[in-house]
Structure 1
């Protein structure tokens, strides 16, 4: 039961990436739109102060803010696509239809039971407008629930076919036929039970907010500690997109979740000081500064004969963490060989958020330095306090550096470059790799042109051992017939994997930002066509 529960949670976590990863793009474009309407910038650069550029900025930021008010629909479609075993496009379309049926069914039922609030403002009533339809305010949870329900029905009935005159009602059409009564009954049921859930969520949010800096510390620490399981985004997603991360009215629209509020506030030039809820998205200190200090410490503590190899591994990993906020290549370099360092890293990550809150800093950098510049600098110091963010980051750089260097030496921790005699650094340098290629080692030439697909498949136990292939932002996620056949050392040494995680028959191989191309190469090698989805 425990294994099934963990597998289910990991699959759900993978599906969450579809809607979650697209939302920062909207945030970046909102920030760009805000550049063209920022009063201080227009004063400094007068030629931008014209109807064309300011109008473009207004349209860009204003249109994208609408995404924040329709997160339920986005999550419903995204999660249904992520959880569908096959015909994912049909699953997403069915989820869209189910969402429309749900909101209208709930609205009509609330009218019949006379529970629909009538008045000028819905604030404090527990109800809201969703796509022009007034229903209970379920926020992003509505999308999550409908996405899961749609996927369950879809996976159960997508292969159902009929003969003769009823043939047209098979497949995806039958899924929708079954989904209609399920969704209508859910709408009726949630009309009664959701207020109780909402009270519980509100109470939890109040408890977290009242816990102040301790709550922030616990949040920041857990968000890092769950990295090995791949479930860490199940910690931060509710805070970013639900009432757990705060509730704030911006421009006459009531928004929930720290990131939603932040995006809306940066698009609204009338907001002078960003909300305190933004601190729940201030996860960039360890990514942009702390782990860089850890990399420097690990490099300096490497054995002299291994420094070149350590440098070849740590420099790309540090640049990726700083620029793009992808930390796993660094974290996996010490997570399993020196777990105490990972615990300390998690503690420092939570502590950095507390320090930012103490200094009233509202800047964020969740996805590295590029995001940091786009999100914060154009808003000015008054709104975000971004110079203090950098100062805090520099301090944490030295804290990480000094702690890692001291503990590595004190306990002789086997970080990169400090392996015992006869051991090896797990990733090859480019020079060594090219040397292998010229030596004519079988399979290496094809690896160069195919992202290691043949070696990856072989190290996973062969094509017959692979049941399904998927990926998230940084990890190749697979379901295998026998996880014991995985050759972790080969994946790390010959394909550049930063780490391998096993949970039953679910295996995750960490490749970083190039995981998308790795996934395509593996699919191509296995003969998996895109149309199979």
Structure 2
């Protein structure tokens, strides 16, 4: 059974990595839409001004991306899960998505199942209009299901070469051929199946709402607690991106998920007196701004006097990254491996702060760092988001983190930054990294060496903060060498190594890919 559980975990992590490919773009899209909302806010900028028109153009340019997240996820997931010929599978995924729309629309017409519009819109009918086709409204789940299926079929058939005159239909083109009956089957089947799924999603959403503060606490705890496994994406993404997080009718258009709902309020701040209750599930960023700052200060104050400068060099960049961008892993991984107890307390305090926000109906956009918080919330009426309450709760969270973390570090004699017994390991790691910063090639050589050499590497990928490498022999991986390249931590999982680099992981991934291609 342990082998089966391990295989399931591996598959979930593969899916999580693939999904991140599309998710990585959403913060950029969201920030641009937030800027658009600021520029089109008539209380700030005159509707006749050039800035207002520019903001309107920005919004009209980027809002269709949120309206077609299914297509983005179909491409991103199929690309991420495909073992090879990734460019071809991305093209196939676009074609299959459009094929599904055409087939589903045709079948609905055939069975006379196209819904009548309500007030000129399809809201509430279970159907929607995508790229000109009226289809069953599956939201982002259509892209997820199609993306996974396409990747699976592609990995099975893309290396098959057909003989003779049929050879032109082999390779990746065979994926499209093989997917044709699957797409038609899905288009017909989901006509009947998805309405039941919609009821199930509605029931889950209703449960989370009816669970009240307890539901918010459970969400907040597991969203944080599962970060080391990489499975936390399964917790936050359904709420932020799908109907599970809630839906809202805006000008006859349905928006789904907490982020899209908040952005809709930025365009129409008078929708309701208080922010939609979907935003109960978007307050996890408080910890990135306040809580971890308190923990970092506790680590600094409890460091040995002779190591305070070293601790500061480790903690300051990590906490600045956390506060500004919401990328928390560089600071979190300084204590995760030292004390699992601190990690459990960290997850509990994160959940508690979200629950307190829910109790006092504090509902700003607080899912990430300070930059997003300011851009999203300041243009809106304070009465709508009640963001000052968020700041007050955050200050309290800072104090609680500081007291609890400082007490536990001292009482349990935890080896947090600056309290290590072995000077050489930690000091060597950071000093060596600083020497190599000016020589990226040297750092890349060390990364490859730490992973056991090129022959030990099967594949390389990355998410927000981690370099994810599938390897042949775990015994050849050297954690100390990897940490000497600037990594905040190393996570091992069967045949995969996750090296925590933080926000610079994209640059690291590019250099590793180039090194592998050139050598």
TM-score range, shorter chain: over 0.9
Superposed, 1:119-518 pairs within 5 Å as 119-120=117-118, 121-271=121-271, 273-420=274-421, 424-425=425-426, 428-429=429-430, 433=433, 448-450=439-441, 452-492=443-483, 494-518=484-508
Note if contact 1:245-1:258 (Cα within 8 Å) is conserved in structure 2. Answer: yes
Aligned with 1:341: secondary structure?
helix
Distance 1:406 1:460 in 2: 37
Q: CA deviation at 1:79?
A: 0.8
Single out whichever of 272-281 and 454-463 deviates more from structure 2: 272-281
Note if contact 1:61-1:267 (Cα within 8 Å) is conserved in structure 2. Answer: no
Runs of at least 5 residues in structure 1 that lack an aligned partner in the other structure: 43-47, 438-443
Residue 17 of structure 2 corresponds to 14
Distance 2:405 2:399 in 1: 10
RMSD, aligned α-carbons: 1.9
Note if contact 1:72-1:139 (Cα within 8 Å) is conserved in structure 2. Answer: yes
Aligned with 2:405: secondary structure?
helix
1:56 alignment partner, one of 45, 54, 64: 54
Q: CA deviation at 1:317?
A: 0.4
Note if contact 1:65-1:263 (Cα within 8 Å) is conserved in structure 2. Answer: no
Note if contact 1:18-1:79 (Cα within 8 Å) is conserved in structure 2. Answer: yes
Distance 1:118 1:522 in 2: 54
Deviations 1:449-503 (A, max 9, x none): 32611111111111100001111111001110012321112211x1111111111
2:99 alignment partner, one of 89, 101, 111: 101
Deviations 1:331-390 (A, max 9, x none): 111112111111011011111111222222221232311111111112231222222222
Residue 65 of structure 1 corresponds to 63
Deviations 1:112-159 (A, max 9, x none): 233332343433332222222222221111110000011111222222
Q: CA deviation at 1:254?
A: 1.6
Distance 1:49 1:129 in 2: 30
Distance 2:427 2:73 in 1: 38
Note if contact 1:159-1:171 (Cα within 8 Å) is conserved in structure 2. Answer: yes
Distance 1:301 1:522 in 2: 37
Distance 1:391 1:266 in 2: 23
Q: CA deviation at 1:55?
A: 1.2
Residue 441 of structure 1 corresponds to none
Single out whichever of 248-257 and 220-229 deviates more from structure 2: 248-257
Distance 1:152 1:400, change over 3 A: same
Runs of at least 5 residues in structure 2 that lack an aligned partner in the other structure: none
Residue 440 of structure 1 corresponds to none
Distance 1:134 1:433 in 2: 56
Aligned with 2:379: secondary structure?
helix
Deviations 1:252-283 (A, max 9, x none): 21222111111222123543543121221222
Note if contact 1:329-1:512 (Cα within 8 Å) is conserved in structure 2. Answer: yes
Residue 527 of structure 1 corresponds to 517
Aligned pair count reads 513
Runs of 4+ deviating beyond 6 Å: none
Q: CA deviation at 1:168?
A: 2.0
Q: TM-score, normalised by structure 1?
A: 0.92
Q: CA deviation at 1:421?
A: 5.2
Deviations 1:272-296 (A, max 9, x none): 5431212212221100110010000
Residue 39 of structure 2 corresponds to 36
Aligned with 2:43: secondary structure?
helix
Distance 2:57 2:187 in 1: 35
Distance 1:248 1:409, change over 3 A: same
Aligned with 1:425: secondary structure?
helix
Aligned with 2:134: secondary structure?
strand
Distance 1:426 1:337 in 2: 17
Q: Are 1:27 and 2:30 matched, yes or no?
A: yes
